[in-house]
Chains A and B, each alone.
Chain A
Amino acid sequence: MIRVNDVNLSRGGVEILRQVSLEIPKGGIVAIVGPNGAGKSSLLHVIAGLVQPDSGQVTIDGQDLHQLGEQARARVLAFLTQNQGAVPRLTVRDLVAFGRWPHHRGRLKAEDHAAIADALSRFDLETLAQRDIETLSGGQKQRAFVAMCYAQTTPWMLLDEPLAALDPKYTRDIMERLQGLEDRTVLLVLHDLSIAANYADWVVAVKDGCVHSVGPCQDMITSERLTDLYDVPLELAEVNGKSAVIWR
């Protein structure tokens, strides 16, 4: 379980997170949703231990995150950043192998090779393994970076907008691969509420730097709550057993 306790964060005099407290249970997919500028990405960075909050603390499975060393933390959670702008010229295999770095620190053992092979096959990258990430399409590149996080073999995977700029095919592709992961909890920032409605098990709603509401998906993705969260009339529709969030 991740427990965020009374976290405050400000940058350059602007309050980004205010008295954020929440609990995230282990297992499945957890979506962080909320309007633009609500502090979703900042919250994910604080939970990842990459940003030190002004006050408050984050515990993961009972351990205080900011007391953990960088190396110990890298074995508990993996992180995917928002934009892969300038990528280095690495092959997909090399990139995924760097996901194992916290475990092997440069000396790959049999279990590292096995984890790399598992990540490549789970994200269908075997045929692309020798290609440069630079030469891949946006969707393939994103899949390679998600595979790198997966190869890190951590109980928690934190993904900051993994679906940004992906077309519906790649979006579904990545979400279905993430849904099938055992022993992992995937915490991700999402903008598409229909995706959250269909794939998330647990939802964290953030608004104006505060926690708006937290709970299981069916309680959270409702017309009333979403309308209140985004200040725009939204409605939940059912089409062939799938959920879609539309404007009213």
Chain B
Amino acid sequence: MRGLTVAAVLGFVLLIGASLLIGATNIVNGDLDAGLLLAVSRFPRTCAAILAGAGLALSGVVIQQTVQNRLVEPGLVGTPEAAMIGLLAVTMIAPGAALIIKMSAATVSALIGTCGFFLLARLVPRKDPMLLPLVGLIYAGVLSSIALYAAWLTDLVQYIGVWQSGEFSGVLKGRYELLWLVAGVAGALYLLADRITILGLGEDYARSLGLNYRQTVYLGLAIVAVCVSVIVVTVGSLPFVGLVVPNIVSRIWGDNLRQNLPKIALLGGGFVLASDVIGRIVRWPYEIPAATIFAMIGAVIFLWLLNIPRSSKHG
């Protein structure tokens, strides 16, 4: 298990190196100033991919523990769509509002949307775990149509596409820094690690262990809302990250989040960064969005996950 961790960290470092070196412009013998290129484009882009991946993966595990179902993630429960509705509402009411105001509106509406799913999830029978993701899909579909209608009213339909398929080619210094909020939120989440693990035992146990159940759930969902709306606003949402990454970590290392939150963040960041790097290579010098690459890799990994037996021990 230790070997695996070392290999993962090493792979992550190599990936960062690759991300800094690979791109439309050759960094070594190119006609552009290498330092400037790194500082303005490659470094921000690398950070953005890692932060977005980590944020989505962490959001995924929080939602999964909260509703005690491994098959859901923010993208399947309407969080990004709710954030879009908030953004569009601000654009309608105050078109010239500052980014921070748009951001706050997106967060508030993402929180309302995610809490809505949580309340809905309490009504869904638990016997069949496939039922909840289906309910989530329908719920997300409803929110998505509302967002589309609002976008149509405001002439912003093309933005919906941008927000839905995350990609990093537009990331430049000065245009992604909001994403560092994810790092702060991840730190806060680490303080709640035990509490979120206890949520996974169910409401009765959580409450009889003295946890303030409601407060913990809403705090967790607020963290999800902040992460997802920051990511939607800056780079666009990436589907499946929040589903695949926590499931891989859970399969290998279990669900004790105090030990596993850093692994989830690292693996989420690494996967999204790898998708972005691959997207830059496949049709060089053109680019394929990271979300597209991840959706393909993620689907394969997920099918594999559903089938492999899990080792009985982990340390």
> A residues bordering B, Cβ < 8 Å?
45, 48-50, 70-75, 77-79, 81, 85-91, 94, 98-99, 101-102, 105-106, 130-132, 134-135, 152
Cβ-based interface call for B173 (8 A):
no
Specify which chain A residues have a CB less than 8 angstroms from the CB of B212 in the assembled complex: 70
Cβ-based interface call for B256 (8 A):
yes
Cβ-based interface call for B91 (8 A):
no
Cβ-based interface call for B200 (8 A):
yes
Using known A-B contacts A50-B204, A85-B126, A89-B254, determine if residue A131 contacts B312 with beta carbons closer than 8 Å. Answer: yes
Closest 4 CB pairs of A and B: A74-B210, A79-B208, A102-B210, A88-B255
Chain A: CB-nearest residue to B257:
A88
Complex Cα–Cα for A201 and B196 (A): 38
A-B contacts, 19 of them at CB < 8 A, read A49-B207, A70-B213, A73-B210, A74-B208, A74-B209, A77-B208, A79-B208, A81-B204, A86-B69, A86-B129, A88-B254, A89-B310, A90-B256, A94-B256, A98-B197, A101-B209, A106-B258, A132-B314, A135-B312
Q: Are A88 and B201 in contact (CB under 8 A)?
A: yes
Q: Are B209 and A50 in contact (CB under 8 A)?
A: no
Using known A-B contacts A98-B201, A132-B314, A135-B312, determine if residue A90 contacts B208 with beta carbons closer than 8 Å. Answer: no
Q: Are A98 and B198 in contact (CB under 8 A)?
A: yes
Q: Identify B255's interface contact among A77, A78, A89, A99, CB under 8 A.
A: A89
Q: Are A70 and B312 in contact (CB under 8 A)?
A: no
Cβ-based interface call for B284 (8 A):
no
Interface size on B, residues (CB 8 A): 30
Q: Are B208 and A88 in contact (CB under 8 A)?
A: no
Complex Cα–Cα for A181 and B42 (A): 64
Using known A-B contacts A50-B207, A78-B208, A130-B313, determine if residue A101 contacts B198 with beta carbons closer than 8 Å. Answer: yes
Complex Cα–Cα for A247 and B315 (A): 51
Q: Identify B208's interface contact among A48, A130, A135, CB under 8 A.
A: A48
Chain B: CB-nearest residue to A101:
B209
Complex Cα–Cα for A192 and B69 (A): 33
Q: Are B209 and A99 in contact (CB under 8 A)?
A: yes
* CB of B200 to closest CB in A, whole Å: 4
Specify which chain A residues have a CB less than 8 angstroms from the CB of B201 in the assembled complex: 87-88, 98
Q: Identify B209's interface contact among A86, A130, A152, CB under 8 A.
A: A152
Q: Are B194 and A101 in contact (CB under 8 A)?
A: yes
Q: Are A88 and B209 in contact (CB under 8 A)?
A: no
* CB of B209 to closest CB in A, whole Å: 5
Cβ-based interface call for B211 (8 A):
yes
Q: Which of B194, B208, B256 has most chain A Cβ within 10 Å?
A: B208
Chain A: CB-nearest residue to B192:
A106
Complex Cα–Cα for A135 and B209 (A): 24
Q: A91-B254, A98-B197 are in contact. List 8 more A-B contacts (CB 8 A).
A: A50-B204, A71-B210, A86-B126, A88-B254, A90-B256, A91-B314, A105-B194, A106-B258
Q: Are B197 and A79 in contact (CB under 8 A)?
A: no
Specify which chain A residues have a CB less than 8 angstroms from the CB of B69 in the assembled complex: 86
Contact residues of B between 54 and 88, Cβ < 8 Å to A: 65, 68-69
Q: Are B205 and A79 in contact (CB under 8 A)?
A: yes
